[in-house]
Chain A
Amino acid sequence: MNAYTKRLMWPVIILVALVAVNIAATGIDFIVPSVHDGRLGGAFVNILRRSAPLLLISLGMTLVIATKGIDLSVGAVYAIGAAIACQMIIDAPDQTSAGLVAAAVALALAVTAVIGAWNGVMVARFGIQPIVATLILMIAGRGIAQLVTGGQIPKVQDASPFTGIGRGSLWTIPIPIWIAVLTLVALALLTRRTALGMLLESVGGNPEASRLAGIRAKGITVLVYLVCGLCAGLAGLIGAANLGSADANNGGLWIELDAILAVVIGGTALLGGRFFLLGTTIGVVIIGTLEDTIINVGLSSQWQFTAKAIVVFAVALLQSPEFRAWVLKPFKRRPAAPAPAPAEEVLAK
């Protein structure tokens, strides 16, 4: 078993367990997709569809975390992207124009990319800690989104093609899933079939050494924050299109925390270096499934936060070598016992 599959093993086991719990609670319909009106449906497909914005943000976040950074502003950027697109569409006389929607989407993505690049410049050029640099926009960003919408919640007509980004489907598969999966494939190809991924891991491992080795560490850092901003903007568009409106206060609220959680569940360490896009994807699906599981086993939706807290706590402890050593200490005192060996192997993912 190589390092990569070892990393993926735990998230996959958790996901399978969650799915099994759901099947036990609601029957096999949970996992089997159904087709309604030429569109794929079913509980699990809906989870995937709803998880698309989180997946996009988590993918961007994975790259940022690979460079030893973090982007706290993604929730605010999500709100800004949604606000710009919706406001531009409702300001136009004809909301059903495809050209208008394309322009609105392009403008929203361009602005969010610039915001991402700004974060990157703060980190790479001015040498500010990522958590601090992105905190600025986390605080101010929702204010900017409010400014764009004038404090209102712009509602796009259902007839506008914009809502198709969130509700439509292509070849029976929902559009959000298409966007998320294509982004995943594009980023995976870009980082694993070119040298970019290796350069990223190198910058995350040691930026100064990378620079001395001839890698343009600063440029790469700016690039990943730009991609992260772009992903957040795209996620905001999907979220807004799905609802048909942009809520500057609550759109994408705490999505940055969910994204960081997904990345950590997926096996990417917050310390930078190795990153796992596929692991992150599984992490996102785990979070999405967890939310449904809570409802399906009969708990109130308020348990969501508590369940997430428990997951964060468990993952943080499992990834801590000190904790693993502490837990395994009682077993290690008996040198002849064969039991600890497999337990240790399982935990040392």
Chain B
Amino acid sequence: MTAHTLTERPARSTLLDGLGRYVPIGATLALLLVLYFTGVANYPKFDQPQVVAKLFIDNAPLLVIAVGMTFVILSGGIDLSVGSVMAFSTMASAWLTVEAGIAAPLALVLVLAFGTAWGVLIGAVIHHFNVQPFIATLVGLFLFRGLTLQISETDVSMRDIEFFGWGMTHVEFFGKVRDGGFWLPYLSFGAFAVVIVAFVVLHYTRFGRSVYAVGGSEQSALLMGLPVARTKIGVYAVSGFCAALAGVFAAFATKSANPLANVGTELDAIAAVVIGGTLLTGGAGFVLGTVAGVMVWGVLNTLIAFQGNLSSWWARIAMGVLLLAFILLQRVLARSGEKRRA
């Protein structure tokens, strides 16, 4: 590329790039609407508000994990350990409260602190020792599944701990479900809070902008004087915290801990992030896109549940097909971007 083209092109390409940024998320939202109205057209009672509310109840943990994953993927990394960390956090919450007899709030704080500390550790290994994120987080995937199984090989119930009743407390809106209203548990508000905080952090703080910069080009970010080390370690800390929080949410939602829970959750989260329009190479994407991605996953499952005679594996296949479509779309957009600049 010569200096000549550099001075000639920016005005036009900036405009198109600006719009191009929103094509994937626009496609996701369109897809979400199509899926939803397909359901409304085909199944009775699909149009009840509670159907939408239920998306935010069932998928609250996945939403939290996917938000954490968005940070990591935006920075150009990947975190495979979230499913295991989540299962471990649920199990640790159960063990600390039921077996060790620690007060539930304190136990939850410990679990969340541990998840964050693990994220910091693995982030430090990735950054300072230049280990590939894929391999470094693979350690977490094995380690925490193993530790979870070592705490207990069977389900641990937390029903006797009163504190865990709090999470599913109903908050009703516009009356009862049969009167056209809907309800949400406190957990869903927790998930909303995570999304809002993540949105503000990513778009309006120095750390958030650094995440995008590091994901775009680590070298350039370093040359610009951005705190690359702090940012890279930070995103894994965020992801570790979110995974632990999702585990705590699961503890509230089910009041039991299953050592084999959440196998493959990391894949669902990655898929949701990509369908939400975030580039897996890093540097471009939105938290709200991830919310849309999780909703697509939720609506797909709801559709299958309403259909009644389909198995849940269809959701996985559909998710794979959507993933393929979105990856190809991103590829086409990236190629046309390259051509414009060339």
A305:B149 contact, CB within 8 angstroms: yes
Which chain A residues in 304-349 approach chain B with CB under 8 Å?
A: 304-310, 312-313, 316-317, 320-323, 326
A140: CB under 8 A from chain B? yes
A257:B138 contact, CB within 8 angstroms: yes
Shortest Cβ distance from A133 into chain B, in angstroms? Answer: 7
Could you mark each residue 138-170 of chain A with 1 if its beta carbon is under 8 Å from any beta carbon of chain B, else 0?
111111101100010000000000000000000
B130:A151 contact, CB within 8 angstroms: no
Shortest Cβ distance from A212 into chain B, in angstroms? Answer: 19
Which chain B residues in 131-147 approach chain A with CB under 8 Å?
A: 131-132, 134-136, 138-143, 145-147
User: Cβ of B141: which chain A residues have Cβ within 8 Å of it?
Assistant: 257, 309
B125:A317 contact, CB within 8 angstroms: yes
Which chain B residues in 294-342 approach chain A with CB under 8 Å?
A: 311, 313-317, 319-321, 323-324, 327-328, 331
Across the interface, A133 reaches (CB within 8 A) one of B146, B321, B327, namely: B327
B111: CB under 8 A from chain A? no
The secondary structure that dominates the A interface is: helix
The secondary structure that dominates the B interface is: helix
Size bin of chain A's contact surface: 35 or more
- Least CB separation from A146: chain B residue: B313
B237: CB under 8 A from chain A? no
A326:B129 contact, CB within 8 angstroms: yes
Shortest Cβ distance from A327 into chain B, in angstroms? Answer: 10
A142:B313 contact, CB within 8 angstroms: yes
B149:A302 contact, CB within 8 angstroms: yes
A4: CB under 8 A from chain B? no
User: Cβ of A141: which chain B residues have Cβ within 8 Å of it?
Assistant: 320
B153: CB under 8 A from chain A? yes
A–B Cβ pairs within 8 angstroms, 22 of them: A126-B331, A128-B328, A129-B281, A131-B78, A133-B327, A136-B324, A139-B316, A139-B323, A140-B321, A143-B313, A143-B314, A143-B315, A151-B311, A248-B313, A260-B135, A270-B132, A302-B146, A302-B150, A302-B153, A316-B129, A316-B132, A320-B130
Q: A138-B267, A305-B147 are in contact. List 17 more A-B contacts (CB 8 A).
A: A128-B331, A139-B267, A139-B320, A142-B313, A143-B315, A151-B313, A248-B313, A257-B141, A260-B138, A261-B138, A264-B135, A305-B145, A305-B149, A307-B146, A312-B135, A322-B128, A326-B128
